[in-house]
Amino acid sequence: MAQIDTAKLKASNKQAGRKIGGTVGIFLFLTVLGLFMAMPIYLTIVMSVKPVEELFVFPPKLYAVRPTLDNFRDMFAALRQNRVPFSRYVFNSVAVTVSVTVMQCVFSSMAAFVLAKCRFPGSKVINNIIVISLLYQSNVIYIMQYIVMAKLGLIDNPLALILPSIASPMGLFLMRQSISQVPDAVIDAAKVDGAGLFRICWQVVMPNQKPALMTLIIFAFQGAWNIQTGSVVFQEQYKTLPTVVTQAAASGLARAGVAMAAAVFMLIPPVIVFMLAQKNVIETMAHSGIKE
């Protein structure tokens, strides 16, 4: 085990002037800071398995004396009281999350490629509008969005959960910034070979954009997974997991444990997606060979 680790350390130190001591120092520094960063998350997990009577013990303990899954059981019990079976909410959330993530990634990648690498009438204006729309935050927008959705007949329609999240200016901006680093020579060469823009985008540019694309998947998944039905969809059979889990968890401090259980439960899928995507990001490093 130890041998493998040192081999890997050496492999990552092929660059100039790497000393093993420096890497160990960085590791220690990050560990200390990481412990501080992870503390509230750790406490969330601990609280979610603490029985009720342990919540108000003095001094509060950093671990559960008698860990229990009661809080999770209570949460699911509260969910079971709903008219609609639990699996329906899971299905709704998965359907919304998958369709938003896929469409957001495909549409943003294409648009980002065009905006980063082509000059055409309107390209500058659109680039500016994207950044401005990121900066313009106003609570009036939600009202206007509601009016637009009402005009389109989307209120109380499950599509209202999907359509507004597809075009995320943040996702586009991220991809645009990353694609702008691709040398023009690469694209010109492909053009000379007779490839159309669509093929250049998907076969020349995107295969080398894995780090940005994986990051976009993380953002899109995380955003879509947390979409609340809130004020646009009212029918019980269209509600998503975050809406009903919040409902189940929201009642007083005595149920802090249940709230923690809900938080932990909702965190599991994004963390899994995050791990898979990050693994992919890190693997791309070895062979990213775009040259001028």
Partner 1 sequence: MAKGNNRKKLRRTWTEIKRNKACYAMLAPFMIFFIVFTVIPVVMSLPMGFTDFNMAQPPKFVGFSNYTTLFFSDKIFIRSIRVTIVFALLTGPVSYVLCFLLAWLINELPPKLKTIFTLIFYIPSMANVYTVWQLIFSGDINGYLNSFLINLGIITGPIQWLTDGRYVLAVTIIVQMWISLGAGFLALRAGFQNIDRSQYEAAAIEGIQNRWQELIYITIPSMGPQLMFAAVMQIVGSFTAGTVAQNLVGFPSTDYKAHTIMTHAYDYGWVRFEMGYASAICMILFVVMFICSRLISRVLSKYMD
32 binds partner 1 (CB under 8 A): no
Q: How far is the CB of 208 from partner 1 (least distance, A)?
A: 8
C-beta closer to partner 1: residue 78 or 172: 172
Binding residue (CB under 8 A) for partner 1 from 20, 30, 189, 254? 30
44 binds partner 1 (CB under 8 A): yes
Binding residue (CB under 8 A) for partner 1 from 137, 192, 194, 252? 137
Selected range binding partner 1 among 75-83, 84-92, 227-235, 272-280, rule: CB under 8 A? 272-280
Is residue 260 within 8 A of residue 71, CB to CB? The reply is yes
105 binds partner 1 (CB under 8 A): no
CA angle 221, 242, 154 (to 5 degrees): 80
d(CA 100, CA 164): 9
Selected range binding partner 1 among 4-12, 74-82, 83-91, 231-239, rule: CB under 8 A? 4-12
Q: How far is the CB of 207 from partner 1 (least distance, A)?
A: 13
Q: How far is the CB of 188 from partner 1 (least distance, A)?
A: 15
Buried b (16+ CB within 10 A) or exposed e, 94-126: eebbebbbebbbeebbbbbbbbbbeeeeeeeee
Q: How far is the CB of 280 from partner 1 (least distance, A)?
A: 10
Radius of gyration of the chain (CA): 24
| Number of residues engaging partner 1 in binding (CB under 8 A) | 109
- Looking at residue 272, its amino acid is I
125 binds partner 1 (CB under 8 A): no
C-beta closer to partner 1: residue 239 or 255: 255
Could you tell me which of 213, 206, 220 has the C-alpha nearest to residue 117?
A: 206
Q: How far is the CB of 12 from partner 1 (least distance, A)?
A: 5
157 binds partner 1 (CB under 8 A): no
77 binds partner 1 (CB under 8 A): no
d(CA 161, CA 96): 7
d(CA 8, CA 18): 13
Residues 186-245 touching partner 1, rule: CB under 8 A, are 196-198, 201, 211-212, 214-215, 218-219, 222
CA angle 224, 98, 199 (to 5 degrees): 110
Q: How far is the CB of 92 from partner 1 (least distance, A)?
A: 19
Q: How far is the CB of 46 from partner 1 (least distance, A)?
A: 9
Q: What is the DSSP letter of 84?
A: S
Q: What is the DSSP letter of 182?
A: S
Could you tell me which of 242, 176, 231 has the C-alpha nearest to residue 205?
A: 176
